[in-house]
Structure 1
Amino acid sequence: MLSQLVYVSNRKPNCTQEEISKILESCKKNNPPLDITGILLYSKKKFIQLVEGESKVITGLYDKIKTDPRHSEVRMISLSPIKQKSFPSWHMGSKELPKEKVNFNTDITKEDETIFNNILGGKEENGERVLNMLKKFF
C-alpha cells in the first residue's frame, strides 16, 4: 500500500552541514531502488522529513532513521495511506530553514503558523494539514 510518513526530530549539535550533505547523498543513492521519494526540512535544531513509498518499505526505513545518531527525540507525526505521491520525482528534496523567521513560498496565516509550530513540536497529527504545510516550502 502506497503511504506517506512524516516525522520530526531534534538535530544534534555535532550534525554538521557536511553530515546533512551525506544524508542527502545517501537518500539520492538508496531511495530510487526502493521507490522512496520525499522532502527534508532542517534547521540548526530540527529535522522534519516526509517520505513516500510502499508502507512496509517506509516503516522499515523509519526504524533505521530512529537509530541515526545525528538526531534525537524522533517523533512520528503521521503515517497515512495515499493514492499518489506528492513528491514523485524527488528522491529527497531538501531545504534549510533559517534560524530567524521562516519564509514560506506562499502567504501564511496565523492558523498556518500554529500548525507549523505544532509540527516542530511533534504535536500535529493531521497528515493532510502537515502535507499542505510542507508543500508551502516548495
Structure 2
Amino acid sequence: MLMPSIFGENLFNDDWMDFSFPDVDKVLYGKHAKNVMKTDVKETDNSYEVDIDLPGFKKDEIEAKLENGYLTISAAKGLDKEEKEEKDGKYIRKERYSGAMSRSFYVGDELKQEDIKAKYEDGILKLSVPKKEQKKVETTKHIAIEG
C-alpha cells in the first residue's frame, strides 16, 4: 500500500545521525545523493583508473572536462522535459527526478585533455588519468668539514 509520508521519507531509514549542513549538489536525488556518482579510484604504475557509477544516464547526458587542473564529470537528465498531465492518470509519487550533478577531482596543471581516456559502458564511466612525472629528489650529499 502506498502511503504518503509526513516527513518525505521513511523515518527509520533516515540518516538521523548525519548532522551536516544541506549540500547544494543534492538537488537531483535529494538526501540520497550520497549514493549517486559512487567513485572508485585505483592507482596503477602509470595511471589512476577512475570508475564512476552513472546508472540510467545515456552517453550524451555525461560530460567530462579538464579546466584549471580540475577534471569535472557532469551528468544531467530530463532538464528539457516539461511536466504534462497524462491522459490515462496522474502520478501520485515520482522518485525519478530530473536535474544535474557534477563531481570534480584535482589532477594537476600538467595534464592535457588528450592525455585522459574515457569510456562509458553499462552505467559506469571509466577514466584513465596518467600519473604526472614525479620530480626527482636530490640525494643527500655530505660536505666534509675540516678542522
TM range (shorter): under 0.3
Q: TM-score, normalised by structure 2?
A: 0.21
Q: TM-score, normalised by structure 1?
A: 0.22
Larger radius of gyration: 2
Higher relative contact order by CA 8 Å / sep ≥ 6: 1 or 2?
A: 1
